[in-house]
Amino acid sequence: MRFNNPVVKGFYPDPSVCKVNNTYYLVCSSFQYFPGVPIFESKDLINWTQIGHCLTRTSQVQLDTVDSSGGVFAPTLRHHNGRFYMTTTNDTTRQNFYIWTDDIYGEWSEPIYVDQGGIDPDLYFEEDRTYFMSNGTDDFGVGGIVQCELEIETGRKLTPSRSIWQGTGGRYLESPHLYKINGRYYLMAAEGGTEYGHMITYARGDSATGPFEAYANNPVLTNRNLGGYELQGVGHGDLIQDGEGHWWLFHLGFRQTGQYLTYHHLGREVFLAPVTFGEDGWFTAGHNSTTLLSFETDRIADTIVQQDKKVFTFENTDWNLDWCYLRHPAAGHYQLEADKVKLTGTGVTLDVPASPTFIGIRQKDFNAVISCEISLNSGEAGITLYMDEKHHYDLALRGNEQGYEVIERLNIGEIKSVEKAIDLSDCHHATLVVRATPTYYHFYVQIEGTETLLGAAQTRYLSSEVAGGFTGVLIGLYATGETPGSNAEFTHFSCVYS
């Protein structure tokens, strides 16, 4: 059969995967968004359904005043002796920690902190031993992939942290994962930075603690030389073996907006590539060490059909799974119902690293029509295409001296410009529409069946190449207002991809 990449669309970076019985589970980074670390499950590797989040309580993670692209980095998901473990970093507080659960569909424990620095932590279990790895500097001042043995019940280090591999010379050595395969230990990592030079490298040895010999043909997977190919930034992967004995590599990558337009705004997504072990024990990945937008394979049965959801509404999404908040929300400002949401605005706007009244869903493809009907009593409410507090486009209904108006506002760095305003007099409700292409967003208002164009803005100014950071665009619904009780009601939301 032929499957298409990405297998999880939208801003879901740094995938980590494990298999329990005949089910696969996958987690991704969440940065400043809450709940944190989304969890997916699959039976066939290509169709993924979100089932929850690991970090659902404020006691588990500090996100208050976290800057965009701060917070929760690069989780690792593992299963050992009937228990799931997720280890990650709060990059803002510079703390590595892990949590656990005996029920993947239930709540997770409070954090257990590990006294080892760096980011992108990994857990490796072997019999009664637990190894913890991250990138950084060890207890002796040596940089690289750093490892210690720890007591899993408490997080207490049992050995000093020691650098066990320095990579192949690429910058930003990160994302370590350790595996034992056919009696040998494989240490996989990412190098080159999570941009256009990203790559996956690996080494192997006869002990979990090294020494490790680098694969002679590293990088084992990268798209860094595929200029003009839509899929770029391939790296940060995790190996998994399927039920038939085949190996696969889940990894992040991003889709640029055009053949030679080196901008991406959907964020880093989840991609899948086949892995093949040679008789010498070294493995190769992908197609000639690259990942393709589609793979033809006999490893997945022809009876499997890859699903691609095209329509997202209030009614067919789950507030607790598909939607998320900026940092820790004030629960009293949200009334979430099956077919509508009521938001209470505050003086906190989208322009500051705090928690405005905002609920968002990830943009999953380039071409989309986004619409929502909004009723407002005071303040401002609307749809935002949100990259971070300094880079977002807002299509909003707000109060003015005459009554109400619809505005198109562009926020690009320090420039905040209301490009157009249409007066509505005393009409306090309207349908707002955004039509998205790979390179442009177009903004419309519909009143009594008449649609009016306010303007357009280039997607590139919401891209990582302009805004920086590690996230992607979210389609957000928001409300602001200094007056207590500034309320807005959102109905008939839809996002239709083509």
Which one from 91, 120, 122, 174 is the annotated catalytic residue?
Answer: 174
CA dihedral over 27, 32, 36, 39, signed as positive or negative: negative
At residue 448, the pLDDT reads 85
At residue 390, the pLDDT reads 97
At residue 482, the pLDDT reads 78
At residue 170, the pLDDT reads 96
Q: What is the mean pLDDT of the chain?
A: 97
Instruction: Give me the percent of the chain exceeding a pLDDT of 90.
Output: 96
At residue 485, the pLDDT reads 67
> H or E stretch including 116?
none
At residue 25, the pLDDT reads 98
191 CA to centre of own chain: 19
Q: Domains in the chain, please, with CATH?
A: 2-296 (2.115.10.20), 311-497 (2.60.120.200)
102 carries an active-site annotation: no
- Reported as a single tens digit per residue, the pLDDT across 401-449 is 889 999 999 999 999 999 999 999 988 999 999 999 999 999 999 988 8
User: Phi/psi of residue 18, each to 5°?
Assistant: -145, 165
Give the predicted TM-score (pTM) of the model: 0.97
465 carries an active-site annotation: no
- Reported as a single tens digit per residue, the pLDDT across 473-494 is 999 999 999 777 679 999 999 9
- Reported as a single tens digit per residue, the pLDDT across 258-268 is 999 999 999 99
Task: Write out the chain in H/E/C secondary structure.
Answer: CEEECCCECCCCCCCEEEEECCEEEEECCCECEECEEEEEEECCCCCCEEEEEEECCHHHCCCCCCCCCCCEEEEEEEEECCEEEEEEEECCCCEEEEEEECCCCCCCCCCEEECCCCCCCEEEEECCEEEEEEEEECCCCCEEEEEEEEECCCCEECCCCEEEECCCCCCCCEEEEEEEECCEEEEEEEECCCCCCCEEEEEEECCCCCCCEECCCCCCECCCCCCCCCEEEEEEEEEEECCCCCEEEEEEEEECCECCECCCCCCCEEEEEEEEECCCCCEEECECCECCCEEECCCCCCCCCCCCCCEEECCCCCCCCCEEEECCCCHHHEEECCCEEEEECECCCCCCCCCCEEEEEECCCCCEEEEEEEEECCCEEEEEEEEECCEEEEEEEEEECCEEEEEEEEEECCEEEEEEEEEEECCCEEEEEEEECCCEEEEEEEECCEEEEEEEEEHHHHCHHHHCCCCCCEEEEEEECCCCCCEEEEEEEEEEEC
Q: Residue 98: how many CB atoms within 10 A of its CB? A: 25
Q: Tell me if residue 426 falls in helix, strand or coil.
A: coil
Query: Shortest CA distance to 480 belongs to which of 390, 388, 397, 423?
Result: 397
Q: Residue 351: how many CB atoms within 10 A of its CB? A: 14
At residue 246, the pLDDT reads 98
Residue ranges of the chain with pLDDT lower than 50? Answer: none
